[in-house]
């Protein structure tokens, strides 16, 4: 089977602003899936509400749109029902780290075999530029004219502290590196977090393409991605390092909870009478 880029062509009209960093992420995801020889029917992309969550509309793949911040929970259920699917989640920094923060913690702890790609544009893009959990302390924002009063979340350090299976950072304009990182993240069996720095050309006039070009640097080649302490130190030392910070192979959640040899949940026989009995208790 040979998978082509055209197989992922979607007829849906694109509504991102011209020049948005999301285009680079879209290109890298498509390239990664093609290079992994995954056909569209083998892939499910879950998302919620926002600019980032529009990404699966622009690819011809299986899609599940959940509520804002609930995309990881939806993906967890989907992976348990169909463990043979490659499940990705696309969310903004607001959805993933704000509204969805609690779901993120527990998906990491469970080690669900999904890849969460966070489009980290440091603002709430769709709702027109309010501060998000990753906006810098003191930075003026829409509803914070005197500056954001809270410290930003460090998603990489948080994930490493929880010994998340795979933790990496990419930049939306460096699609070669992002494609490689995404391929590794998808191949990793367990929860993968890829934080993608993404310029929002409409609402963020500080972190432009030129800003990121100037401030980003690769994770040092001598870094040992198996060393959680070194990874944590790296993640807390410089905010704009690109590459793989941490990788640890465990037993993914679906292998731990699904009975041996039972097959995917979707193949289990449905007993309508039992379902009816359960439904009656909630009427």
Ligand X SMILES: Cc1ncc(C[n+]2csc(CCOP(=O)(O)OP(=O)(O)O)c2C)c(N)n1
- Binding interface with ligand SF4 (CB under 6 A): 16-17, 20, 22, 51, 121, 125, 200-203
Report yes or no: 100 and 57 within 8 Å, Cβ to Cβ.
no
**Residue 173 CA from chain centroid, whole number:** 17
Q: Per CB under 6 A, which region of 79-87, 93-101, 107-115, 166-174 contacts ligand X? A: 93-101
Q: Name, in order, each residue with C-beta under 8 angstroms of 180's C-beta and a sequence gap of 6 or more.
A: none
Given 69, 155, 243, 252, the residue binding ligand X (CB under 6 A): 69
**Based on CB atoms, which residue is closest to ligand SF4, 88 or 200?**
200
Q: In angstroms, what is the minimal distance from the CB of 249 to ligand X?
A: 30
Does residue 92 interact with ligand X by CB under 6 A? yes
**Residue whose CB is nearest to ligand X in the complex, by number:** 92
**Helical (H) or strand (E) element with 234:** helix 228-237
CA pair distance 102, 79, nearest whole angstrom: 19
Residues in the chain: 283
Q: In angstroms, what is the minimal distance from the CB of 50 to ligand SF4?
A: 8
Residue 93: name its binding partner from ligand X, ligand SF4, none (Cβ under 5 to 8 Å by kind). Answer: ligand X
CA pair distance 90, 51, nearest whole angstrom: 10
CA pair distance 152, 282, nearest whole angstrom: 42
Residue 20: name its binding partner from ligand X, ligand SF4, none (Cβ under 5 to 8 Å by kind). Answer: ligand SF4
Residue 132: name its binding partner from ligand X, ligand SF4, none (Cβ under 5 to 8 Å by kind). Answer: ligand X
Does residue 21 interact with ligand X by CB under 6 A? no
Does residue 56 interact with ligand X by CB under 6 A? no
Residue 238 has which token pair? Answer: 């410089």
Q: Which of 135, 150, 192 is nearest to 169 (CA)?
A: 192
Does residue 55 interact with ligand X by CB under 6 A? no
Burial class (CB in 10 A: 0-12, 13-18, 19+), 52: buried
Residue with tokens 């590459």: 243
Residue 203: name its binding partner from ligand SF4, ligand X, none (Cβ under 5 to 8 Å by kind). Answer: ligand SF4
Does residue 52 interact with ligand X by CB under 6 A? yes
Does residue 207 interact with ligand X by CB under 6 A? no
Beta bridge partners of 195: 118, 169
Q: In whole angstroms, how far apart are CA 258 and each of 36, 89, 173, 251, 255?
A: 26, 22, 40, 12, 6
Given 24, 50, 152, 155, the residue binding ligand X (CB under 6 A): 50
- Identify the three-state secondary structure at position 43: strand
Does residue 93 interact with ligand X by CB under 6 A? yes
Q: Which of residues 118-147 bind ligand X (CB under 6 A)?
A: 119, 121, 123-127, 132
Residue 170: name its binding partner from ligand SF4, ligand X, none (Cβ under 5 to 8 Å by kind). Answer: none
Does residue 95 interact with ligand X by CB under 6 A? yes
Question: Which residues of this chain interact with ligand X, rule CB under 6 A?
Answer: 49-52, 68-69, 92-95, 99, 119, 121, 123-127, 132
């Amino acid at each position: 089977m040979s998978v082509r880029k055209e197989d992922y062509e979607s007829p849906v009209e694109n509504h991102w602003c011209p020049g948005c960093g999301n285009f680079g992420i879209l290109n890298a995801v498509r390239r990664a899936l093609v290079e992994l020889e995954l056909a569209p029917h083998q892939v499910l992309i879950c998302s919620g509400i926002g600019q980032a969550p529009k990404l699966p509309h622009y690819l011809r793949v299986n899609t599940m749109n959940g509520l804002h911040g609930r995309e990881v929970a939806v993906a967890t259920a989907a992976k348990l029902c169909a463990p043979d699917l490659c499940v990705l989640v696309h969310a903004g920094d607001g959805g993933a780290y704000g509204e969805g923060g609690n779901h993120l913690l527990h998906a990491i702890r469970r080690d669900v075999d999904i890849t969460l790609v966070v489009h980290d544009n440091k603002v709430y893009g769709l709702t027109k530029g309010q501060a998000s959990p990753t906006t810098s302390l003191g930075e003026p924002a829409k509803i914070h004219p005197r500056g954001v009063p809270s410290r930003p979340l460090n998603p990489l350090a948080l994930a490493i502290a929880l010994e998340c299976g795979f933790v990496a950072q990419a930049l939306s304009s460096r699609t070669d590196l992002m494609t490689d990182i995404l391929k590794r993240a998808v191949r990793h069996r367990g929860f993968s977090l890829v934080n993608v720095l993404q310029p929002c050309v409409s609402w963020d006039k500080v972190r432009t393409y030129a800003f990121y070009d100037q401030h980003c640097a690769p994770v040092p080649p001598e870094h040992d991605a198996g060393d959680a302490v070194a990874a944590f130190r790296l993640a807390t030392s410089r905010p704009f390092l690109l590459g793989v910070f941490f990788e640890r192979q465990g037993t993914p959640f679906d292998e731990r909870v699904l009975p041996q040899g039972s097959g995917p949940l979707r193949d289990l026989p449905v007993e309508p009478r039992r379902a009816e009995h359960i439904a009656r208790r909630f009427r």
